[in-house]
């Protein structure tokens, strides 16, 4: 049993230095327990805190300042916990802090760079690396991913459901057995045999979390997420199994409702979050107080799930994430205070061992049999029924192996059942008799042979023995050569089939097959195939969802999506990652080729060594001299070259392995970014569609929505100043406002935007009485064509799908208005508007 208080660490998020100046300091002098001092600026100290203290000091196991790398965080915080999980103890790491303080960044990681990987992917990497190294045990790994939102649990890894909202995901409920053990009903466990499989599950969960979030529930901010690695280990042949769980928890933002200043649905959410964090706090207070008999775990789902992690059988670590800016000082102090209370909690971690029921049954059955046998001896009671066929067969097998065993001490153990003992004697007797008869029938010729033989002289005998030994050696060498030839032929066959399959995959994998020492396995090609969307069910389902969405898009919407993508803040990151991925692929390909060369060289060297050896043997036979036991100089040289080449191969192999992990991670990051992009586009599109409908009869500048959600405030503001003047322009150049749609059904909210502006829809144009409807439509179409051309050549910076499909005046008016809002700068806007006017 390991008794330990919960370890607390602090991590300060990097922000603009100016905003943090003089606000905090870290005292590293106290090596064992460094402290963080938060200094209240004078303006805040007055009245902010009752006693007007100007600085607060908090102790932590370690404090990581702004420049701490993800690698450092993993090495110092997560690695020790992962090690205890590998040893069979439960572990928990949870991040606590206000929204935006870096909880998700610390636990999951950033979505931009490979080096930004957080605790979860690094821990998975570490655990699988350790499992591979340890061949003394059989390990099984399972993953689960739970999201708790408004006190309801959701399974983020259910492959049967395609989540488009949180409600689509299976609901998880907490059950408690009589021993007060917590069970999570409906939370699926997924076996992950490799790091890639586990990372794919993480990716699936994160994407489901992102897709399922509502505009109200912006991802991690308002929900708690628990990623759990379940690890079982067993020594071969042993009936004892060890189970350990590692919870990696990203809690919701800890800020107070009053500060967030929200209402409606957000307020409800905030209340739930505050309530669940409040219950967490209550549990922690209760645990830190001595002699408290009741700990209110059951009050909330999160405390129920984390029951063991808090004051139970677990090694728990808390990371207090701090965004130490002036405006966040109160939240930062509150986070640190919380951490100080958490540090008082003592946990008692025990090894979670249990007996494997199957092995236990076999063991007990054997024991019962032995006891029955003993009882039979003691009571003198003997069984009289005949032995079954299976029992007889079993006995005969035992006798055969007993007779074949060269060990003179070996025993024939059949127990104390007299029926079995009798049968053994009968069987042996039969064997003996059969042999006697056989001897008699072959005796005359044997006798004759023996008579002919003269006693062998000692010298001759030795010579013959040497020759025999030599022949044996030759035969062994030849057999080995034969085996190698056979293996080569098989490999050639295998390689050609791999080549074929790689060709059929389009892009060939840069990862070469196998290890020159071992059997010809295909570790990399197999795992890259696992990454391929056709073989990874999780990734493929998400990619399908993503591409599926694309396929459903109309032409115009696709065009809008392309522009949305181009202008999105993440596009630079995606492009950067694409470039890095390309570089890594090129590097992996070059490395793969070098590895293949090294493999062939190793093969050639091995062949040369064998040939050299055969030559030596042949020389020995022809000149009748014994084969030298030590390799000659040439062979020695070949062997050292072989060793050198093997070392080179291993180094390259290790690098390639690391590259593979990096490539897979980058691919996952890109997939995630693409899904996010698609989702944001859909949300923006839906919002635009709604606002077009709601505002359609009279579009006023106040109704204008920010055209792209990802636009910076500055960009947005620049695009905003639509004066009445531009409205006047719009009115001038376009059909005047009027009822845009004929019937109610055309404006039904569910109707796709393209349906709302059908080409054939006649439009009622109130004040353009002089113009024929057909002429008006023609003008609109021309106008649209012109606009589309401008967009294509980059003259206009913004365009919406309705425009392409809408040949009607109504569609034209609205969309051109939208266009006008984002034309910049003002002078250019005017020129373009005039251009539009001329085009009309
Ligand atoms: N140590 C860090 N280094 C670099 N960037 C960071 C760091 N910590 C946080 N960030 C960045 O700050 C932003 C907010 O961080 P993050 O999403 O992790 O906050 P959070 O505490 O999880 O917020 P929420 O409660 O909304 O989930 C992100 O863009 C993240 O990349």
pLDDT tens digit string along 60-84? 999 999 999 999 999 999 999 999 9
CA of 254 to the centre of ligand 1 (A): 14
- 344-348, 493-497, 804-808 — most confident range: 344-348
More confident residue, 756 or 617: 617
pLDDT band at 518 (very low <50, low <70, confident <90, very high): very low
pLDDT digits (tens, 9 = 90+) for 257-285: 544 445 555 555 555 656 778 888 888 88
Bigger pLDDT: 816 vs 237: 237
Q: Torsion angle of alpha carbons 478, 479, 481, 485, nearest 10°? A: 140
How does residue 691 score in pLDDT terms, banded at 50, 70 and 90?
Answer: low
In this predicted structure, the answer to whether residue 439 has a pLDDT above a threshold of 50 is yes
Residue to substitute in 15, 65, 100, 250 for testing ligand 1 pocket (most ligand atoms within 8 angstroms of CB) = 100
100 lines ligand 1 (CB under 6 A): yes
Question: Is residue 108 within 6 Å of ligand 1 at its C-beta?
Answer: no
Establish how many alpha carbons lie within 13 A of residue 333's alpha carbon, considering only the half-sphere containing its beta carbon: 18
Collapsed DSSP state (helix, strand, coil) of residue 58: strand
| Angle formed by the axes of helices 418-452 and 389-404, nearest 10° | 40
Nearest alpha carbon, ligand 1 atom 4? 14
User: In this predicted complex, what is the ipTM?
Assistant: 0.97
Whether residue 825 is preceded by a cis peptide bond, meaning omega within 30 degrees of 0, is yes
Alpha-carbon separation of residue 345 from 63, 295, 309, 394, 768 (angstroms): 19, 12, 10, 59, 78
Cα 105 to middle of ligand 1, angstroms: 5
Residue set of the binding site: 97-104
- Nearest-atom index, ligand 1, CA of 107: 18
From the CA of 374, how far away is ligand 1's center (Å)? Answer: 70
Ligand 1 contact, 649 CB (< 6 A): no
Q: What is the pLDDT of residue 795?
A: 46
Closest by Cα among 152, 244, 156 to 200: 156
Would you put residue 94 in left (φ > 0), alpha (ψ -120 to 50) or beta?
beta
Report which ligand 1 atom has the smallest distance to the Cα of 110.
31
**pTM of the complete model:** 0.59
Is residue 509 over pLDDT 70?
no
CB atoms within 10 A of CB 401: 11
> What is the mean predicted confidence (pLDDT) over 729-737?
34
Inform me whether the pLDDT recorded for 745 exceeds 70.
no
In the chain, domain spans: 2-355, 357-438, 461-680, 696-839
The mean of the pLDDT values for the chain is 72
Q: Which residue out of 102, 109, 116, 262 has the highest number of ligand 1 atoms within 8 Å of its CB and is therefore the one to mutate?
A: 102
CA of 247 relative to ligand 1 center, distance in Å? 20
**Measured in angstroms, how far is the CA atom of residue 658 from the centroid of ligand 1?**
26
Check residues 704 and 202 and name the one with the higher pLDDT: 202
pLDDT at 559: 72
The pLDDT score that the predictor gives to residue 268 is: 59
- Residues forming a β-bridge with 62: 9
- The verdict on the CB of residue 321 being under 6 Å from ligand 1 is yes
Pocket test for ligand 1, best of 105, 209, 251, 332 (most atoms within 8 A of CB): 105
Question: Residue 493: what pLDDT?
Answer: 59
pLDDT at 113: 85
- CB of 221 sitting under 6 A from ligand 1: yes
Ligand 1 atom with the smallest distance to the CA of 66 is 1
3-state secondary structure of 657: helix
Q: What is the CATH number of domain 2-355?
A: 3.40.850.10
Q: Is 99 in the pocket of ligand 1 (CB under 6 A)?
A: yes
Instruction: Give the distance (Å) from ligand 1 centre to CA of residue 825.
Output: 34
pLDDT band at 120 (very low <50, low <70, confident <90, very high): very high
pLDDT band at 222 (very low <50, low <70, confident <90, very high): confident
Q: What is the mean pLDDT of residues 459-465?
A: 80
Which residue numbers belong to the known binding site for ATP? 97-104
* Nearest CA, atom 26, ligand 1: 221
**Among 153-167, 214-228, 697-711, 766-780, which stretch is predicted with the lowest mean pLDDT?**
697-711
315 CA → ligand 1 middle, Å: 25
Nearest CA to ligand 1 atom 31: 110
Residue nearest to atom 14 of ligand 1 (CA): 100
Candidate from 68, 74, 110, 217 with most ligand 1 atoms within 8 A of CB, to mutate = 110
CA distances from 203 to 53, 140, 200, 670, 793 (A): 46, 20, 5, 11, 38
What's the CA-to-centroid distance between 99 and ligand 1, angstroms? 8
Which candidate, 63, 55, 61, places its Cα nearest to that of 23?
Answer: 55
The model's confidence at residue 449, banded by pLDDT at 50, 70 and 90, is: low
Residue 220 in contact with ligand 1 by CB distance below 6 A: yes
Instruction: State both tokens at 362.
Output: 């076999």
What distance in Å separates the CA atoms of residue 29 and residue 311, rounded to the nearest whole number? 30
How far is the centre of ligand 1, averaged over its atoms, from the C-alpha of 223 (Å)?
15
Can you read off the two tokens belonging to residue 259? Answer: 């500060």
With 90 as the cut, is the pLDDT of residue 141 above it? Answer: yes
328 lines ligand 1 (CB under 6 A): no
- Is 109 near ligand 1, meaning CB less than 6 Å away? no
* Of 9, 11, 12, 13, best ligand 1 pocket probe by most atoms within 8 Å of the beta carbon: 13
User: Is the C-beta atom of 101 inside 6 A of ligand 1?
Assistant: yes
> Token digits for 779?
């003008």
Average pLDDT, integer, range 172-187: 86
């Amino acid at each position: 049993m390991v008794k330990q208080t919960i370890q607390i660490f602090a991590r300060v998020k990097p922000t603009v230095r100016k905003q943090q100046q003089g606000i905090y300091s870290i005292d590293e002098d106290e090596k064992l327990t460094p402290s963080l001092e938060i200094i209240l600026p004078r303006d805040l100290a007055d009245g902010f805190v009752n006693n007007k203290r100007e600085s607060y000091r908090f102790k932590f196991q370690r404090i990581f300042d702004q420049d701490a790398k993800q690698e450092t965080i993993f090495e110092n915080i997560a690695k020790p916990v992962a090690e205890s999980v590998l040893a069979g103890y439960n572990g928990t790491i949870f991040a606590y802090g206000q929204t935006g303080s870096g909880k998700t960044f610390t636990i999951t990681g950033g979505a931009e760079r490979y080096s930004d990987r957080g605790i979860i992917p690094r821990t998975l990497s570490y655990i699988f690396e350790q499992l591979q190294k340890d061949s003394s045990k059989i390990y099984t790994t399972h993953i689960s991913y739970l999201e708790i939102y408004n006190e309801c649990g959701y399974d983020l890894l259910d492959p049967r459901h395609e989540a488009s909202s949180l409600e689509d995901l299976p609901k998880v409920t907490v059950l408690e057995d009589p021993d007060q053990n917590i069970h999570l009903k409906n939370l699926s466990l997924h076996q992950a045999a490799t790091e890639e499989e586990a990372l794919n599950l993480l990716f699936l969960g994160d994407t489901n979390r992102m897709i399922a979030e509502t505009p109200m529930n912006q991802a991690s901010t308002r929900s708690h997420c628990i990623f759990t690695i379940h690890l079982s280990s067993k020594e071969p042949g042993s009936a004892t199994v060890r189970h350990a769980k590692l919870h990696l928890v990203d809690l919701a933002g800890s800020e107070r409702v009053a500060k967030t200043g929200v209402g409606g649905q957000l307020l409800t959410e905030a209340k739930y979050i505050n309530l669940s964090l409040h219950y967490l706090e209550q549990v922690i207070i209760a645990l830190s107080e001595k002699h408290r008999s009741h700990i209110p775990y059951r009050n909330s789902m999160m405390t129920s799930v984390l029951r063991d992690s808090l004051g139970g059988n677990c090694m728990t670590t808390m990371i207090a994430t701090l965004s130490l800016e002036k405006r966040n000082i109160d939240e930062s102090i509150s986070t640190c205070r919380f951490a100080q209370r958490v540090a008082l909690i003592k946990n008692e971690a025990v090894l979670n061992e249990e007996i494997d029921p199957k092995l236990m049954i076999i063991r007990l059955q054997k024991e019962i049999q032995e006891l029955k046998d003993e009882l039979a001896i003691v009571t003198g009671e003997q069984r009289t029924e005949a032995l079954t066929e299976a029992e007889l067969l079993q006995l005969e097998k035992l006798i055969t192996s007993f007779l074949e065993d060269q060990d003179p001490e070996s025993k024939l153990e059949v127990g104390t059942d007299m029926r079995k003992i009798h049968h053994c004697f009968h069987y042996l007797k039969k064997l003996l008799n059969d042999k006697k008869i056989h001897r008699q029938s072959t005796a005359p010729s044997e006798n004759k042979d023996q008579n002919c033989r003269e006693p062998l002289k000692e010298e001759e005998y030795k010579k013959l023995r040497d020759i025999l030994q030599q022949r044996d050696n030759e035969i062994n060498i030849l057999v080995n050569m034969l085996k190698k030839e056979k293996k080569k032929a098989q490999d050639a066959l295998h390689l050609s089939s791999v080549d074929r399959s790689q060709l059929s995959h389009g892009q060939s994998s840069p990862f070469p097959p196998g290890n020159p020492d071992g059997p010809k396995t295909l570790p990399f090609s197999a795992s890259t195939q696992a990454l391929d969307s056709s073989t990874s069910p999780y990734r493929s389902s998400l990619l399908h969802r993503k591409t599926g969405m694309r396929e459903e898009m109309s032409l115009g919407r696709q065009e809008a999506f392309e522009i949305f993508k181009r202008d999105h803040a993440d596009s630079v990151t995606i492009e950067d990652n694409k470039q890095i991925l390309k570089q890594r692929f090129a590097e992996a390909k070059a490395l793969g080729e070098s590895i293949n060369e090294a493999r062939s060289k190793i093969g050639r060297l091995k062949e040369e060594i064998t040939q050299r050896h055969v030559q030596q043997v042949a020389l020995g036979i022809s000149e009748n001299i014994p084969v030298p036991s030590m390799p000659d100089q040439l062979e020695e040289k070949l062997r050292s070259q072989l060793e050198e080449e093997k070392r080179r191969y291993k180094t390259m192999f290790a690098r390639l392995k690391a590259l593979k992990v990096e490539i897979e991670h980058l691919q996952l990051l890109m997939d995630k970014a693409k899904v996010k992009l698609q989702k944001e586009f859909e949300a923006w599109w839906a919002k635009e569609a709604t606002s077009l409908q709601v505002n359609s009869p009279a579009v006023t500048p106040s109704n204008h929505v920010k055209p792209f959600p990802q636009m910076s405030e500055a960009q947005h503001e620049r695009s905003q100043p639509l004066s009445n003047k531009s409205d006047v322009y719009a009115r001038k150049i376009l059909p005047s406002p009027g009822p845009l749609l004929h019937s109610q059904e055309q404006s039904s909210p569910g109707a796709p935007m393209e349906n709302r502006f059908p080409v054939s829809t006649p439009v009622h144009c109130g004040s353009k009485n002089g113009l024929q409807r057909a002429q008006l439509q023609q003008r609109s179409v021309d106008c649209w064509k012109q606009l589309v051309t401008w967009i294509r050549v980059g003259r206009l910076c913004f365009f919406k799908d309705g425009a392409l499909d809408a040949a009607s005046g109504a569609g034209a008016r609205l969309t051109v208005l939208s266009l006008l809002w984002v034309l910049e700068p003002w002078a250019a806007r005017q020129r373009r508007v005039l251009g539009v006017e001329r085009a009309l």
